[in-house]
Amino acid sequence: MNQNKQAPRRRMTRREWRIRRCLRLARNWAVFLAACGAAVALMTSGILWLLPKAHALIAGPETFVARNYDGTEYQLNLADARLVLVNGNLPLDAEPAPALAVADDATGQQLEAEAAEQYRAMAAAAAADGITLELVTGYQDVSAREAAFDARKQVYLEKGLSEEDAAAYAACVCPPANASEQATGYAADILSPDCTEKTTRFADTRAYEWLTAYAAEYGFVLRWPEERQAATGMVYEPWHWRYVGVENALAIRASGLSLEEFLALERTKL
């Protein structure tokens, strides 16, 4: 007798068949619903990811708008060292010795300590808005300032200008060492990855747009505006900013004047 012969399979009863059929249907529906849920979740995530980008494409880039400033209570403080005026008409009496701090880790550039702290806060706020600021020139000692002026003067000498004319032209772009704000630690030359050279092309960047709207909230003003060249004696440099303190900066921005004009006007009110 064959011991390995398998016993015939028992046929399921109708009730058992129905139960199995219901279990299979339940399993298939569960798998189907789970797949639908995953597909819906994936589509929802895709839509949520796509909507802001589609809106940005339709609406264009975000516009940076300066907040309103009520300067009715503003009063000039003549003792505020942050308002020190240094230019060709008001050269340095002595070499400043500002307390310095690194303002930009990427470039290693330093500013006066308070200005450095505010620059860091400003750069962080800009980064949160998708803007990268690069501090390319901060404090300069007398040797660095002399070298910068001589280099600019040499450019004009090579164009055939006389020594006197070359010096005069250079001074409108890069002040001589004793007339340069870079000695104070309050002057900051700021660029961005899409404009890495000191040219007026920086005025076309999003970084410049952001600075124009918000820099004053961190105490910085555009030092040599395009429309104030007669007052400053300097050519328009959209990358050259100056730390003056928040309240001073907001008042200067609201006035639309250069630092020279603003200080002269406010002195008449005292």
Q: What pLDDT is stored for residue 143 in this prediction?
A: 98
Look-up of token digits 């820099």: 215
Q: What pLDDT is stored for residue 6 in this prediction?
A: 58
φ/ψ of residue 241, rounded to 5: -120, 160
Q: What pLDDT is stored for residue 145 in this prediction?
A: 98
59 within 8 A of 52, measured Cβ to Cβ: no
Q: What pLDDT is stored for residue 21 in this prediction?
A: 78
φ/ψ of residue 90, rounded to 5: -130, 70
pTM of the full structure: 0.78
Look-up of token digits 């002195």: 267
Q: How confident is the model at residue 50 (pLDDT cuts 50, 70, 90)?
A: low
Residues 153-174, mean pLDDT to the nearest whole number: 96
239 within 8 A of 256, measured Cβ to Cβ: no
d(C-alpha 30, C-alpha 215), whole Å: 58
Q: Domain segments of the chain: what residues? A: 13-60, 81-140+180-269
Q: What pLDDT is stored for residue 33 in this prediction?
A: 78
Largest interatomic CA distance in the chain: 126
CATH fold for the domain made of 81-140+180-269: Muramoyl-pentapeptide Carboxypeptidase; domain 2 (3.30.1380)
**pLDDT per residue over 10-35, tens digit each?**
676 777 777 777 777 777 777 787 77
